[in-house]
Structure 1
Amino acid sequence: MGYYVEVEAGIRAFVEEVGTGRPVVFLHGWPQNHQLFEYQFNELPKHGFRCIGIDFRGFGKSDRPWHGYSYDRLADDVRVIVEALQLKNAALIGFSMGGAVAIRYMARYGGDRINQLLLLAAAAPSFTQREGFPYGMKKEEVNAIIDAAYKDRPNMANDFGRMFFASQISDSFRSWVNDQAFEASSQGTIKCAESLRDEDLRPDLAKIQVPTTIFHGALDRICPYALAMAMHEGIANSKLIRFERSGHGVFYDELAKFNQELLTSLNQVRYRIGNAGFVR
């Protein structure tokens, strides 16, 4: 079922739920929406999980305000939704930019209501190169993407999409992923690209105190594998799972392996805490 939650006065975020059981919150990447997790939503409810997909403001079916695209504000939106649903002992899954927002949520709110973090090809701890961090894109490269979004956003999305997967995918599937980018607002696309360029999550990593699993493709051309190693080093007791044949779209490039590893990680924490305390 789908519904809206008001995350700020006059601004609503779209949320879709599938299944019942332990809540699992999904945060999508730039510039897509929650539909990107279709092949996880098809699987997890079979195993007793309640999948909750959020469209960030400016993306998918959510409202499209002019403001509010910093990691802090996006994390605040997630917080409002988690509180509105009264979630407890939830797993938080963030892909790409969604992984960055998930990290900021954990640092900003002390992981309240969340007892497990899963980072998928996360755009963290910094999406761009900076002093002391020579990994990721150069800021000039992101500036070029932003400039292209101002001039020809559909072509920019197509070019970005060509870097997404390492496996052979159908033209129809690639079009489906690109169509999600086309659904996004231009303002949300541009302002979130600026956040990707400018935000630095390195100080946030040490604040994460829940079991954390990092899923990352060895062939990722958008968030290189060095980012995964930096997160693994910065997040205490985290686990890093390397997908040798995956690019940025780690959730699909090796779909069967990914879903199995995801279920294993989710079940390990679920079995540890039992079913007590799960509420809507």
Structure 2
Amino acid sequence: MVGYYVTVEPGVKLYVEDINPTGSKTIMFLHGWPLSHEQFEYQFNVLPGMGYRCIGIDWRGFGKSDRPYSGYNLERLADDIRAVVEEMQLKDFVLAGHSTGGAIAIKYIVRYNGGGVSKLVLIDAAAPSGLTKETAAQLLKETLNDRANMMLGVTNIFFFRYITKPFSDWFNQMGMQAAGWSTAAIIVMLRDLDLNADLSRIQVPTLIVHGIHDQVIPFSQAEEMHQKIPHSQLIPFMYSGHASFYDERDKFNQLMRDFVGTAIN
């Protein structure tokens, strides 16, 4: 594993973790709000052993990355990913985004005409829209007054399967690594999100994975994405909420292997 920082604009560096750099096929993971690349621990434990190179990025304001006060819009976040891709000289890689990370992945591909991506994986993605105005208003109020309690509420609706208290504590702490201002800014971004015009412009094979019990981004939005994204397939996860990558992690990891293609160890 190699961890390092990439400068994406003057004074702003993103933390990047490169696991199994010699893997024959590359998968870049974009985390969800308000988490970090560490949410994919149970992919990083397994997929590199199958021969894949796995890259995790913390967005600006989250995880171990720098926390500037500005730049929390979809275009800038996509530009940040582009800076990492160029620094690492990535080509022909798979881009996998969870929740808000899925929205960033969509914007990246459309904004950069593919941007070197050969396949796209959307995991419980926040698209074509994000949060309702009512939900966003409530989350914003809680974030600005009691962010720790807001994070606990998010955890309580995130998973479909039982999680232990130690796991819940770890997950909460991951969310609390973020800056308060970046956490709030992304809520506003999700409130105003509209990717309808972008979906038909995605031209790479796309796998849509979505938990049917998702209480954050309804499964109906996955069905809408499937209708609007050419060359897409939708796989419902019958025992998952907003965390299909964890709720059904064995199924998810095998599906990734099937979709990405067998790597050479």
Q: How many Å separate the matches in 2 of 1:170 and 1:30?
A: 21
1:200-219 matches, cutoff 5 A: 200-219=194-213
Q: How many Å separate the matches in 2 of 1:262 and 1:224?
A: 22
Please, what TM-score do these two structures have when normalized by structure 2? Answer: 0.96
> Are 2:36 and 1:42 aligned?
no
- Which residue in 1 is equivalent to 2:167? 173
> Are 2:70 and 1:71 aligned?
no
CA apart distance, 1:21: 2.3
- Which residue in 2 is equivalent to 1:17? 18
- Which residue in 2 is equivalent to 1:132? none
> Are 2:105 and 1:102 aligned?
yes
> Are 2:145 and 1:151 aligned?
yes
Q: Deviations over 1:179-213 (max 9, x none)?
A: 10111101110001111111211100011000100
Please, what TM-score do these two structures have when normalized by structure 1? Answer: 0.91
- Which residue in 1 is equivalent to 2:154? 160
Q: How many Å separate the matches in 1 of 2:127 and 2:14?
A: 24
CA apart distance, 1:94: 0.1
Q: How many Å separate the matches in 1 of 2:183 and 2:43?
A: 24
Stretches of structure 1 lacking an aligned partner (at least 5 in a row): 129-137, 276-280
Which residue of the other structure, out of 192, 208, 220, is the alignment partner of 1:198?
192
- Which residue in 2 is equivalent to 1:278? none
Number of aligned residues = 261
- Which residue in 2 is equivalent to 1:246? 240
- Which residue in 1 is equivalent to 2:92? 89
Amino acid across the alignment from 2:237: F
Q: Deviations over 1:93-131 (max 9, x none)?
A: 000000000000011111121111000000111013xxx
Tell me the SS of whatever aligns to 2:157.
Answer: coil
Stretches of structure 2 lacking an aligned partner (at least 5 in a row): none
Q: Deviations over 1:130-174 (max 9, x none)?
A: xxxxxxxx2022111001100000000101110000001111111
Which residue of the other structure, out of 51, 56, 61, is the alignment partner of 2:54?
51
Tell me the SS of whatever aligns to 2:34.
Answer: coil
Q: How many Å separate the matches in 2 of 1:199 and 1:254?
A: 28
Q: How many Å separate the matches in 2 of 1:168 and 1:160?
A: 15
Q: How many Å separate the matches in 1 of 2:255 and 2:119?
A: 14
Which residue of the other structure, out of 128, 136, 143, is the alignment partner of 1:142?
136
Q: How many Å separate the matches in 1 of 2:25 and 2:257?
A: 12
Q: Deviations over 1:20-59 (max 9, x none)?
A: 2211110000000000001101111112211000000000
1:249-264 matches, cutoff 5 A: 249-264=243-258
Amino acid across the alignment from 2:145: K
> Are 2:102 and 1:80 aligned?
no
Q: How many Å separate the matches in 2 of 1:79 and 1:195?
A: 19
Q: How many Å separate the matches in 2 of 1:240 and 1:202?
A: 17
> Are 2:35 and 1:32 aligned?
yes
Amino acid across the alignment from 2:222: A
Amino acid across the alignment from 2:83: V
Q: How many Å separate the matches in 2 of 1:262 and 1:170?
A: 26
Amino acid across the alignment from 2:3: G
Question: Which runs of at least 4 in structure 1 moved beyond 4 Å after TM superposition?
Answer: none
Q: How many Å separate the matches in 1 of 2:187 and 2:114?
A: 25
